[in-house]
Structure 1
Amino acid sequence: MWVLTPLESVGPLRFGMSMDEAAMALPKTPELRRFQAEPCFPEIVGIQLGLGPAEPTVYQYFDGSGRLFCVATDAVRGPQVTLEGAELAGGNPAELEQWLFDLPESMGGVSYGPRGNPGINDLGLVLRAQNTANGLLSRPVLVGRDWADRCVDDWEGAIPECEWVGHVWPHPSFPQDRVWPPAGYTPTWASRWSPPF
């Protein structure tokens, strides 16, 4: 179980650490692959860690200077991430969305990005939906202080594009199987980049 210290660290990973430091922080979790996490910024490197090729647990993202700025955990196999006693990975999206609204105002207000994902910029926290054998479950995406400004905004924030692709956060007034990009839509990056997962 990993405890989130908003904007500073999540479990053994401290935002701002180097790739070597991040690897040393998780010595029992091997690197599965590296990939380009952003279509327009090839210097943004993603590293997938896990137990095997089909069992990713953690995604780390490094900026152009090689500093860890974003971490996401798998909803099923990833370490559980807790904040204020709430478990953020593998949870019921509706319950976690309500939990965000129940947090004290001093922790920041809930906002939604253009693709409907809830989060709190002041905590560097965005909740994403991941399709699993048990339906859509929560997947926390976390950023450090230097990258938290507008992190919930999937167009202008620092979270890499690959983290926004896939299932859209469920909402009672929309179909539960919505994905981005939707069928028939061709993103501007389609001819030069493919999402890594």
Structure 2
Amino acid sequence: MLVLVGYASEHGSTRGIAERVALVLAETGIAAEARPVADVGDAGVYDAFVLGSAVHANAWLPDASRFVGRNRALLTERPVWLFSVGLARVVGGWFEAHSPEPREVSRWREELRPREHRTFAGALLKEHLPGAGRLAYRMMHGRYGDFRNWPEIDDWAQDIARSLPAGTRTTGTRTAGPARPADHGRRAS
């Protein structure tokens, strides 16, 4: 079994989460490949999908939405997990409690029937926002930094690994980059 951990990322936060999920899956013996969805040619080579996107204005990035649109029929036949990365969990309070899930995800719940959708906090640096965006973010009491919760992400990836059918373990893995992605907050054991 080969799992695509596909992503659309603007500043690298979502990419880091996707790489971490692929790494955890590989550590459990599941062949997993993290790659930008815009770079995926034949999605039919994958047996399961973990798809994620940064969220801007309550929507997934266009590359991720296009990937799902192009592969809708295939995605309805295979196991799919979705994750969104945004600021609602960083800002917290009212903003987190009242932020709906991305528009596409609501629609895809019916069409694709994903096993699960998770929302993770991302990373945000001041230079990621234009001047007006910085002002609005300050008014929401937003903070800058890396807010990814790596233990939460690891646990979710392990849940995905346990959910895959028996007999999916393999001794080899495929990666779309270095064998081990950047540390992403992992502590050495």
Above 0.5 in TM-score?
A: no
Q: TM-score normalised to the size of structure 2?
A: 0.30
Q: Larger C-alpha radius of gyration, 1 or 2?
A: 2
